[in-house]
Amino acid sequence: MASPQQTDIWIQRDLAHCWHPFTPQALWGKEAEILMIESGKGVWLTDTLGRRYLDGNSSIWVNIHGHCHPHIVEAIRRQAGIICHSSYLGFAHGLASDLATRLCSYFPKDTLTRVFFSDDGSTAIESALKMAFQSRVQTPGEEHRRHFVAFSNCYHGDTMGAASLGGVGTFFDRFKGFGIEVTHVNSLDELRALSPEFIRSVTAVIIEPVIQGVNRMTPWPKGLLRDLRRFCDEQGIYLICDEVMTGFGRTGKLFACMNEGVIPDFLCCAKGLTSGYTPLAACLTTEAVFDKFIGACSENKTFYYGHSFTAHPIGCAAAMASLDVFENERVLENLPPKMQLLAELGAELERNNPWVSAVRSCGMILGIDVARADGTPFAQDDRAGEKACIAMRRHGLLTRPCTHDTIVLMPPLCITEEEIRFALRAIDAGIRDALPEL
């Protein structure tokens, strides 16, 4: 544990030189104390002053099996002693071969058969977009398919291509005009209602399957994904599933699309792929897409895209170990009672806490909306969600709102039922501490 003096030095250095993501820096360090996280074990985080907190949002939606799981730590340690990084451009390595094979093995034979590795969710999305687009350009009769369709309020990452898909106005409106051409729809019916001529110009539809994350943790109607798959098949449109948040058990299945028996043309995963231990991402696709990039060099069909750390060996080692843990600890088999308890306690919170206006649950995820006790919404500048989450720290829970008034509970899958009860008590208490004052 660091001393209070050392902690203070780090905080001063942070204030002088650091810039945090998605953070209004004018309020940073003023609205709440800056916590310096020092270590983690299971679902628990400890700060430099020795205070313990339950990791209520899986360290920004990434952690799956808890912190410092011995099997994953050992795999990383072993790999670091062998080699940390080698180039995947021009060379291969065994861990990437094994990981790609294992990822494909979760899908029926001859469906998703190819894996393109990258670094994070945004670059997995960029790969899918570029593959989809380029495959059209170099396929006779498909050159006119240049448009992408995304859903309103979607979130697919922050690099320029991914951000131009983004449907959350606060984040993305100012970048309109940059990036790719995208049309947003609210529903499948709205997509169907677009002109046949437009529909023939669409290269791909992208969706966060089963639940939209950043959009206040909003589940889709049951069956929507299956109907969308059917529509895309009928119209010759690719389906891209953004499983960056939903992948690796969050919705109860290894991938969310498995809830509806859907196989997309592109499946992007990142966050939980390594159980959140290191950056690594993968874009899975079909042999049909892969084949469109085969040709003589002079045909220029190569996918000229990649990143320095593609298929990073330490990431691949962590991912293989994380998938071992799924099997060794029967992680998915043990989820149903936890999902049930989360849903029950979420509903109880909605009934009993006057500042909770709605709770949505999906698998191991809760979205908790707060409003004034008379039901009127808080203003953005009230920072109600943020203030409630800050108050929860005193009750031993760390999480963040995903809009100004939706609080997220998305713990690591290894959380126990007792810890789930602890988390819900902390959320209830934090809301009751902070919101009556607004």
Q: In the complex, which residues of this chain contact ligand PLP (CB under 6 A)? A: 61, 120-122, 125, 155-157, 208, 213, 242, 244-245, 270-271
What is the Cα 39 distance to its own chain's centre?
Answer: 23
Nearer to ligand PLP, 120 or 405 (CB): 120
Nearer to ligand PLP, 47 or 208 (CB): 208
**Least distance between ligand PLP and beta carbon 214 (Å):** 6
Q: What is the DSSP letter of 40?
A: E
Nearer to ligand PLP, 151 or 378 (CB): 151
Distances (CA, A) of 113 to 13, 109, 110, 157, 251: 47, 8, 6, 24, 23
**Least distance between ligand PLP and beta carbon 91 (Å):** 25
Nearer to ligand PLP, 147 or 156 (CB): 156
What contacts 54, CB < 8 A, 6 or more positions away?
A: 43, 44, 45, 396, 397, 398, 411, 415, 419, 422, 423, 426
Q: Is the dihedral of CA 127, 130, 135, 136 positive or negative?
A: positive
Nearer to ligand PLP, 121 or 264 (CB): 121
Nearer to ligand PLP, 155 or 172 (CB): 155
**If DSSP codes are grouped into helix, strand and coil, which group holds residue 148?**
strand
**Least distance between ligand PLP and beta carbon 21 (Å):** 9
**Least distance between ligand PLP and beta carbon 204 (Å):** 15
Q: What is the DSSP string of 215-257?
A: TTSEEPPTTHHHHHHHHHHHHT-EEEEE-TTTTTTTTSSSSGG
Phi, psi of 406 (to 5 degrees): -120, 120
**Least distance between ligand PLP and beta carbon 282 (Å):** 12
Burial per residue of 99-137, b for 16 or more beta-carbon CB atoms within 10 angstroms, e otherwise: bbeebbeebeeebbbbbbbbbbbbbbbbbbbbbbbbbbe
**Least distance between ligand PLP and beta carbon 124 (Å):** 8
Give the residue closest to ligand PLP by C-beta. Answer: 121
**Least distance between ligand PLP and beta carbon 83 (Å):** 24
CA geometry: angle 398, 403, 404, nearest 5 deg: 85
**Least distance between ligand PLP and beta carbon 210 (Å):** 11
Nearer to ligand PLP, 168 or 427 (CB): 168
**Least distance between ligand PLP and beta carbon 61 (Å):** 6
Q: List the structure tokens of 31.
A: 């609205």
Nearer to ligand PLP, 43 or 241 (CB): 241
Q: List the structure tokens of 23.
A: 């953070």
Give the E-state strand segments of 258-303 in sequence order: 266-269, 281-286
Q: What is the DSSP string of 351-373?
A: HH-TTEEEEEEETTEEEEEE--T
Nearer to ligand PLP, 154 or 325 (CB): 154
- Under 8 Å between Cβ of 410 and 58: yes
Nearer to ligand PLP, 168 or 244 (CB): 244
Nearer to ligand PLP, 240 or 359 (CB): 240
**Least distance between ligand PLP and beta carbon 278 (Å):** 12
Q: How many CB atoms lie within 10 A of CB 263?
A: 17
- Under 8 Å between Cβ of 147 and 181: yes
For the chain, helix, strand, coil in percent to 5 are 40, 20, 40
**Least distance between ligand PLP and beta carbon 157 (Å):** 3
Per the document, the length of the chain is 438
> How far is the C-alpha of 162 from the C-alpha of 179, rounded, in Å?
8
